[in-house]
């Protein structure tokens, strides 16, 4: 080997920028002094040669670095003496002899190397240094002269063991990895694949060498992944959890993988490719989709529970269902309800076989130009229709089970579910859910959700239907208990309004217990009543009817307003308890022991107006104060002691008497007019008083003005408004005389009556009036006390009143044929339209009423009446 210079083949230092192979494809021939990334560069192989004399004659730079001896110190030395421990030199000499005899040898030799020169990184000049193990490969050779020599290749055992460990670890990771493992070269070709990858895509790992991503993935996905691989190669930035979608060979099932990418380098740091670790996440992705669907469904159900059923209106409830499902669950949806159920029928014809008429009450779409869902002919919102007997929708109605509606060819909709709306084992309608092309078709989970949503809405719709039916019945009952048309009263111009809560607010509401009444009393007096039973619903309406009836009955007894409320209080305390009026009587006797939870509470204001005196007496049971507007003055609330509500008991009621000027306006009302959740009572009262700015307008216009002004204050309560304008009885329509307590007063009374009737041009009433006045004055002389007062009142009827100081009320009885008297009151009853008596603060008043003569009035002949009594 003497022809080879000592340093002729040693590698020289070079940089990566000088490497002509950096851009060359793997496998191309590269002629250079020191190719970076060479295995020899990685394991740092050293070499030296031994001459025929057994001495070192060549020493490489790597030998200097590995063994720590410079070439000038090593050449010419005996390697056994120089590097081998003394106790192994004898054996080493024998091996050297064998080598020089032409035998190859490989083995691990301990060596002793001098340490590096401090701070220089170069071999020191001395021979003392570190100890180590070297793997030596000795190959016999010959010199130019034919003499035997040897070439020695030396590697540090530590480096070899490190390489073996790295290779074993790499092989274990690559071969035993549960992930699909690829090594992709700079040309984006598979350099190596593991068994896991081959098991997924078929063949053996070697079958995948040289393939690219386009061999495994659809074109668009492959282009995306290729771009990502190039970016990893160029930048060295790793990619984690990149989702890749493709197909496994031989199947049409779409698969999903999560891929991690990182750049791989050689031992010298040169990029040699990209490592690909992929795991199949199809099942995990499916589970995630199912979990997301479950969360979405749960959210929809929660939203449905919160938003559906907030109204007791059928159409509103149907729209609330569609607001929940579009677009969160479907793209289109409709709701059809049985027409018969909407109008109140319990079992509309055709309900059993699904052929009954339906009305489309709701439609919603998340897409433009959406079709109206239907079978055959399209059904528009509000239309009444029915489904053909053999259609899936009719089958769903008939069987109470959901059905899939086939998609029309070329249509926008690709998937439709027809789901019956079942409440309490009764089908009330049908809801259709539809998804357009591009959306995921309905699955089993979607079907179950649709059934649940339809069932929830059906219960709410059925409740709304039942409520509507009961509300209409209660409203009919309530309206039947209110005065029909515009009431008439003597000396008053009357206008009234009643608005149920739903009419005032536009929302469904339970019927309330508000009422008003106008009751004509004897003597051209009028009772004005406004009341409000606390609570809502049918029972409140019934209680209101009972109280109204009781008020009318008590009013006919012509007792004082405070006494009327006291009697009503007893009645109200018995309405909610077993035993009715008897329970009320017992409660009245033990007011402090009464249980208010068993009674209905109500407020009421009762006023009696006398058209002759224009005086009005008020009594109040916890109600809002009346409002009075005098001509030319601002409106004011009358100071009437409120008292306790009816049904509480234990306290007497007070009366207040107010003189009302001609043209004054009196307003009675319930709290629904002035109070709501958004507006406090004081604000509503002030608004009401402020709305009465021009009381001179017609009363109907005044009522409309008040309701229009206070529209923003309306709550969910009913509204009752009663307005009366004072039109007192003119003085020339009143005849009033005082008679002494003597027999001659009977004839004088007849004369007064005849003269007054002739002055009023009421001659047809003279004979009857004279006869009846004579009877009443005669009774006052016989059974009464004190002076006698006679009063005639002419308005819509003729009223005659006879006053005295006696307290004994006249009682009508049937006279026997042999009796000489006892027929006077019978005669009054036969000839008058009405008669009666009432107590006054100073005694009593007995009265009778005659209709005014006219085309429709037939007067009874007094002579015939007298004959009928005998």
pLDDT of residue 579: 41
pLDDT (mean) for 420-441 = 89
Average pLDDT rounded to a whole number, residues 649-659: 90
Summarised one tens digit per residue, pLDDT across range 591-646 is: 444 444 455 789 999 999 999 899 999 999 999 999 999 988 888 999 999 889 99
Residue 115 has pLDDT above 90, yes or no: no
Which regions of 639-769 does DSSP assign to beta strands (E)? Answer: 655-659, 665-669, 719-726, 734-739
Residue 676, exposed/middle/buried by CB under 10 A (0-12, 13-18, 19+)? buried
Q: Which residue has the tokens 């068993």?
A: 598
| Alpha carbon 364 to its chain's center | 17
Sign of the dihedral defined by the CA atoms of residues 642, 643, 644, 646, in that order: negative
Average pLDDT over residues 702-710: 86
**What average pLDDT does range 361-368 have in this prediction?**
88
417 backbone dihedrals φ, ψ, rounded to 5°: -110, 130
φ, ψ for residue 685, nearest 5 deg: -65, -45
Helix (H, G, I), strand (E, B) or coil at 519: strand
pLDDT, average across residues 844-862: 77
- Please state the rounded mean pLDDT for residues 189-205: 88
Res 28 pLDDT > 60 = no
CA dist 187 to 112, 181, 263, Å?
Answer: 47, 17, 13
Please report the pLDDT score of residue 608 as a whole number: 95
Identify the sign of the CA torsion 505, 508, 511, 513. negative
Determine whether 25 is exposed, middle or buried from the number of CB atoms within 10 Å of its CB (0-12, 13-18, 19+): exposed
Determine the pLDDT at residue 788: 92
The predicted structure's pLDDT at residue 676 = 75
- Give the burial class of 689: count Cβ atoms within 10 A of its Cβ; 0-12 exposed, 13-18 middle, 19 or more buried: middle
Residue pair 649/491 in contact (Cβ under 8 Å)? The answer is no
Average pLDDT over residues 125-144: 74
Across residues 284-301, what is the average pLDDT? 86
Each residue of 75-112: pLDDT tens digit? 998 888 777 777 777 888 888 888 777 788 888 887 76
Contacts of 583 (CB under 8 A, 6+ apart): 573, 574, 577
pLDDT score for 829 = 82
**Peptide bond preceding 849: is omega within 30 degrees of 0, i.e. cis?**
no
Mean pLDDT over residues 177-184, rounded? 86
Q: What does the chain come to in residues?
A: 870
**Which pLDDT does position 507 carry in this prediction?**
43
pLDDT of 273 > 60? The answer is yes
pLDDT at 823: 66
Say if CB 334 and CB 432 are below 8 A apart: yes
Q: What is the mean pLDDT of the chain?
A: 81
Tokens (6 digits) for 774: 């004579």
pLDDT at position 690 is: 84
Q: Is the pLDDT of residue 382 over 70?
A: yes
DSSP alpha helix (H) spans, 15-123: 39-43, 61-67, 71-74, 79-83, 89-100
Over 80: is that where the pLDDT of 377 sits? no
- pLDDT tens digit sequence for 310-356: 887 888 899 999 999 998 899 999 999 988 877 766 555 555 666 78
pLDDT at 510 over 60: no
With cut-offs at 50, 70 and 90, classify the pLDDT of residue 686.
Answer: confident
Residue 646 near residue 676 (C-beta atoms within 8 A): no
Tell me the mean pLDDT in the region 34-38.
54
- Contact indicator for 621, 603 with CB cutoff of 8 Å: yes
Q: Is the pLDDT of residue 136 over 60?
A: yes
Q: What average pLDDT does this structure show over 222-241?
A: 93
Closest CA to 478 of 497, 498, 495, 459: 498
- pLDDT per residue as tens digits for the range 489-509: 888 999 988 887 654 444 445
How far is 183 from 191, CA to CA, in rounded Å?
5
| Residues 556-574, mean pLDDT to the nearest whole number | 89
* Position 714 pLDDT exceeds 90: no
Most confident of 26-30, 66-70, 169-173, 818-822: 66-70
Give which of 436, 350, 425, 354 is closest to 394, Cα–Cα: 354
Of all helices (H) and strands (E), which one includes residue 776?
Answer: helix 766-783
End-to-end CA distance of the chain: 176
pLDDT in tens, 800-819: 999 999 888 887 666 555 44
Q: Tell me which of 388 and 251 has the higher pLDDT.
A: 388
For residue 498, the model assigns a pLDDT of: 86
3-state secondary structure at position 512: strand
For 853-869, b where at least 16 C-beta lie within 10 A, e where not — what string?
Answer: eeeeeeeeebeebeeee
Taking each helix axis from N to C terminus, what angle separates 580-589 and 561-575, rounded to the nearest 10 degrees?
120
pLDDT value, residue 618: 96
Give percent above pLDDT 90 in the chain.
Answer: 31
């Amino acid at each position: 080997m003497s022809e080879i210079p000592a340093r002729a083949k040693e590698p020289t230092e070079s940089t990566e920028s000088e490497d002509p192979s950096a851009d060359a494809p793997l496998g191309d021939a590269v002629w250079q002094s020191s190719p970076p990334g060479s295995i020899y560069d990685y394991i740092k192989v050293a070499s030296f040669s031994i001459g025929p004399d057994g001495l070192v004659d060549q020493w490489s730079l790597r030998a200097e670095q590995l063994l720590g001896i410079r070439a000038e110190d090593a050449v010419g030395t005996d390697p056994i003496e120089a590097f081998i421990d003394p106790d192994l030199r004898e054996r080493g000499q024998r091996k050297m002899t064998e080598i020089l005899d032409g035998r190859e040898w490989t083995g691990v030799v301990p060596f002793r190397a001098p340490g590096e020169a401090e701070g220089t990184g170069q071999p020191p000049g001395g021979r003392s240094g570190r100890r180590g193990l070297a793997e030596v490969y000795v190959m016999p050779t010959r010199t130019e002269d034919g003499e035997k020599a040897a070439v020695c290749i030396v590697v540090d055992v530590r480096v070899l063991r490190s390489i073996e460990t790295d290779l074993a670890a790499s092989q274990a990771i690559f071969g035993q990895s549960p992930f699909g493992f690829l090594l992709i070269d700079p040309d984006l070709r598979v350099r190596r694949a593991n068994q896991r990858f081959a098991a997924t895509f078929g063949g053996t790992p070697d079958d995948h060498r040289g393939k690219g991503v386009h061999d495994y993935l659809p074109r668009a996905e492959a282009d995306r992944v290729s771009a990502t691989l190039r970016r990893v190669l160029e930048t060295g930035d790793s990619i984690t959890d990149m989702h890749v979608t493709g197909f496994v060979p031989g199947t049409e099932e779409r698969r999903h993988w999560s891929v991690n990418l990182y750049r791989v380098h050689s031992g010298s740091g040169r990029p040699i490719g990209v490592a690909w670790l992929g795991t199949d996440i199809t099942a995990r992705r499916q589970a995630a989709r199912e979990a997301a669907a479950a969360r979405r469904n749960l959210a929809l159900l929660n939203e449905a529970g919160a938003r559906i059923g907030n109204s007791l209106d059928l159409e509103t409830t149907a729209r609330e269902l569609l607001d929940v499902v579009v677009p969160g669950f479907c793209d289109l949806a409709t709701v059809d309800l049985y027409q018969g159920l909407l109008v109140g029928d319990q079992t509309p014809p055709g309900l059993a076989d699904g052929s009954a008429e339906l009305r489309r009450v709701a439609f919603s779409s998340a897409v433009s130009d959406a079709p109206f869902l239907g079978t055959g002919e399209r059904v528009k919102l509000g239309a009444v229709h029915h489904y053909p007997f053999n259609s899936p929708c009719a089958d769903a109605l008939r069987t109470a089970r959901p059905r899939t509606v086939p998609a029309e060819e070329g249509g926008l909709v690709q998937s439709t579910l027809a789901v019956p709306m079942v409440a309490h084992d009764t089908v009330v309608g049908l809801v259709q859910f539809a998804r357009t092309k591009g959306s995921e078709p309905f699955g089993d989970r979607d079907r179950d959700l649709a059934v649940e949503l339809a069932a929830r809405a059906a219960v709410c719709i059925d409740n709304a239907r039942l409520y509507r039916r009961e509300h209409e019945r209660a409203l009919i009952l309530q309206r039947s208990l209110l005065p029909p048309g515009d009431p008439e009263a003597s000396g008053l111009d009357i206008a009234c309004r009643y608005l149920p809560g739903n009419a005032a607010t536009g929302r469904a509401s339970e019927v309330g217990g508000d009422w008003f009444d106008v009751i004509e009393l004897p003597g051209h007096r009028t009772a004005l009543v406004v009341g409000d039973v606390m609570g809502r619903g049918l029972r409140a309406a019934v209680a209101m009817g009972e109280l109204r009836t009781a008020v009318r009955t008590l009013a006919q007894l012509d007792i004082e307003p405070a006494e009327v409320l006291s009697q009503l209080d007893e009645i109200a305390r018995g309405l909610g308890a077993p035993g009715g009026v008897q329970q009320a009587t017992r409660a009245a006797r033990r007011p402090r022991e009464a249980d208010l939870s068993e009674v209905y509470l109500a407020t009421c204001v009762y006023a009696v107006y006398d058209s002759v005196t224009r005086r009005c007496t008020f009594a109040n049971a916890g109600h809002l104060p009346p409002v009075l507007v005098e001509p030319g003055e601002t409106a004011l609330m009358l100071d009437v002691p409120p008292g306790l509500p009816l049904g509480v008991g234990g306290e007497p009621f007070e009366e207040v008497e107010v003189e009302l000027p001609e043209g004054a306006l009196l307003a009675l009302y319930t709290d629904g007019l002035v109070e709501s959740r958004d507006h406090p009572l004081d604000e509503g009262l002030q608004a009401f008083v402020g709305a009465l700015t021009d009381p001179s307008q017609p009363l109907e216009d005044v009522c409309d003005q008040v309701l229009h002004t206070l529209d923003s204050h309306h709550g969910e309560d009913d509204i009752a408004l009663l307005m009366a304008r004072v039109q007192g009885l003119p003085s020339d329509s009143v005849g009033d005389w005082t008679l002494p307590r003597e027999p001659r007063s009977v004839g004088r009374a007849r004369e007064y009556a005849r003269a007054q009737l002739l002055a009023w041009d009421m001659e047809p009433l003279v004979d009857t009036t004279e006869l009846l006045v004579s009877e009443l004055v005669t009774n006052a002389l016989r059974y009464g006390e004190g002076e006698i007062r006679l009063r005639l009142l002419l308005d819509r009827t003729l009223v005659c009143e006879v006053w005295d100081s006696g307290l004994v009320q006249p009682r009508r009885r049937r006279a026997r044929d042999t009796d000489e008297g006892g027929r006077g009151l019978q005669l009054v009853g036969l000839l008058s339209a009405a008669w009666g008596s009432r107590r006054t603060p100073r005694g009593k008043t007995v009265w009778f009423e005659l209709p005014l003569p006219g085309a429709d009035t037939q007067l009874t002949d007094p002579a015939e009446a007298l004959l009928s009594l005998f």
